Amino acid sequence: MNQQCRPRVAFVTTLDTAILHDDFDFPFHVEAFAAAGIDLTHAAWEDQIVRWDEFDLVVVRSPWNYVDRLVAFRQWLHGRSALRTMHNPAGLIEWNMDKRYLAELAALGISVVPTAYASNSAELAAALKEISAPQVIVKPSISAGSRLTGRFTNGSHLAMELGQRVLDAGFTVMVQPFAASVEADGEIGTVMIDGSISHSFRKGPLLDDEGTLRGGEYCEEISAAQLTDAERALVVEVNAAVEHIVRDRRWIAPDSHLLYARYDLVTLDDGSPALLEAELFEPSLFLMVDPTSPARFVAAVESRLRKGRSADEN
């Protein structure tokens, strides 16, 4: 591949570089794309001079300040809604941004962590009262990096106070029972690339008692993991449901897969796995837990580049 025909790929990131120091995937992407002869540019979504349509592929990776600039980010998304080279697509991102998608997946029969949603103080109080577990989780339906998220003893006034802060910030509140297994085993996440399972990892517990963080700061402890048969079956089922939704809404072609997806699971108190989150537009992929995963990601990108060239030729 000569220099003149090297494909150009943009990773969507942010101008707020202070929040990008935890982008563990960055060096692995840079090395893998360079080895494949692909020009990789990290471009900020806020940068108005970026011509996104001039790239052969646009991959949304780390616009991690979107929660703080939600209106502007949504405007940026809407402006890219017709950009066929963007992965994952804008419509899917808008849907995935609000964790009320969990209710839609639950309605399709997917096992998800039991979740109540509250849009006012009365609904919040009712949701907290209905939880029978010893501890509860309170968080916004739109959040990243555990913002406004806390774990509380059932009945703690601090849970109501955090929920009210979420409401006052203009967000819907999510209330969930805390799965006791997280304390010992954490969460297990699985990355899918182009519709196939790539690798899994275990994330240690982040939240401590009464709305605090373990160690007093946000710090993810990541290690490689293997899925149980039940976890693997749930991941496959969740991905099939998600891809059914995105194909039905014509966000991707009927014969296409999502470029990437990450599904985070926990084990409920009855021993069964359940979906905690489906992260479809800005998750860390934790490529460092599997040395072969960066090449798989690049191969999926190259497949889309070939399809794009074929479409242009036709």
Are 201 and 268 members of one domain?
yes
pLDDT at residue 206 greater than cutoff 90: no
| Residues contacting 168, CB < 8 A, separation 6+ | none
Question: How confident is the model at residue 1, as a pLDDT?
Answer: 38
Are 190 and 277 members of one domain?
yes
Torsion sign across C-alpha atoms 92, 98, 102, 107: negative
Q: CATH no. for residue 131?
A: 3.30.1490
Confidence of residue 226 (pLDDT cuts 50, 70, 90): very high
Q: Please tell me which of 133-137, 210-214, 276-280 the model is most confident about, judged by mean pLDDT.
A: 276-280
pLDDT at residue 63 greater than cutoff 60: yes
- For the segment 176-186, the average pLDDT, to the nearest whole number, is 91
pLDDT at residue 194 greater than cutoff 50: yes
pLDDT at residue 69 greater than cutoff 50: yes
Confidence of residue 20 (pLDDT cuts 50, 70, 90): confident
Q: How far is CA 87 from the centre of its chain?
A: 13
Residue 73's alpha-carbon distances to 47, 56, 70, 167, 233, in angstroms, are 12, 22, 5, 20, 34
Q: Coil, helix or strand for 189?
A: strand
Q: Is 5 exposed, middle or buried (0-12, 13-18, 19+ CB in 10 A)?
A: exposed
Confidence of residue 217 (pLDDT cuts 50, 70, 90): very low
CA dihedral (244, 245, 247, 251) in degrees, to 10, reads -150
| Domain containing residue 235 | 101-108+181-287
Are 191 and 280 members of one domain?
yes
Are 80 and 13 members of one domain?
yes
For 65, the token pair is 């300040």
Q: pLDDT above 70 covers what percent of the chain?
A: 91
Are 186 and 241 members of one domain?
yes
- Separation CA 176–CA 179 (nearest Å): 9
Are 141 and 166 members of one domain?
yes
- Separation CA 152–CA 157 (nearest Å): 9
C-beta separation of 32 from 68 below 8 A: no
pLDDT at residue 236 greater than cutoff 90: yes
* Tally of domains in the chain: 3
Q: How far is CA 135 from the centre of its chain?
A: 25
pLDDT at residue 305 greater than cutoff 90: yes
- For the segment 159-182, the average pLDDT, to the nearest whole number, is 94
- Separation CA 193–CA 32 (nearest Å): 15
Q: Kindly list the strands in the beta sheet with 39-44, ordered across the sheet, starting from the edge strand earlier in the chain.
A: 39-44, 8-13, 57-60, 86-87
Are 168 and 186 members of one domain?
no
- For the segment 110-115, the average pLDDT, to the nearest whole number, is 97
Q: Of 126, 159, 177, which residue sits at a domain end?
A: 177
pLDDT at residue 294 greater than cutoff 70: yes
- For the segment 11-28, the average pLDDT, to the nearest whole number, is 91
Question: Considering the chain, what is the average pLDDT of its residues?
Answer: 91
pLDDT at residue 131 greater than cutoff 60: yes
For 118, the token pair is 């509250």
Q: CATH no. for residue 55?
A: 3.40.50
Question: How confident is the model at residue 248, as a pLDDT?
Answer: 96
Q: CATH no. for residue 187?
A: 3.30.470.20
pLDDT at residue 273 greater than cutoff 50: yes
* Per-residue pLDDT tens over the stretch 91-112: 999 999 999 999 999 999 999 9
pLDDT at residue 2 greater than cutoff 50: no
For 123, the token pair is 């609904």
Are 276 and 197 members of one domain?
yes
Question: How confident is the model at residue 221, as a pLDDT?
Answer: 82
Confidence of residue 146 (pLDDT cuts 50, 70, 90): low
- For the segment 34-46, the average pLDDT, to the nearest whole number, is 97
- For the segment 222-231, the average pLDDT, to the nearest whole number, is 96
Are 123 and 204 members of one domain?
no
Question: How confident is the model at residue 149, as a pLDDT?
Answer: 87
Are 203 and 131 members of one domain?
no
Q: Of 162, 177, 192, which residue sits at a domain end?
A: 177
Are 12 and 73 members of one domain?
yes
pLDDT at residue 210 greater than cutoff 70: no
- Separation CA 155–CA 174 (nearest Å): 16
C-beta separation of 112 from 102 below 8 A: yes
Question: How confident is the model at residue 148, as a pLDDT?
Answer: 81
Q: What would you report as the CA-atom Rg of the chain, rounded to the nearest whole angstrom?
A: 20
Are 207 and 298 members of one domain?
no
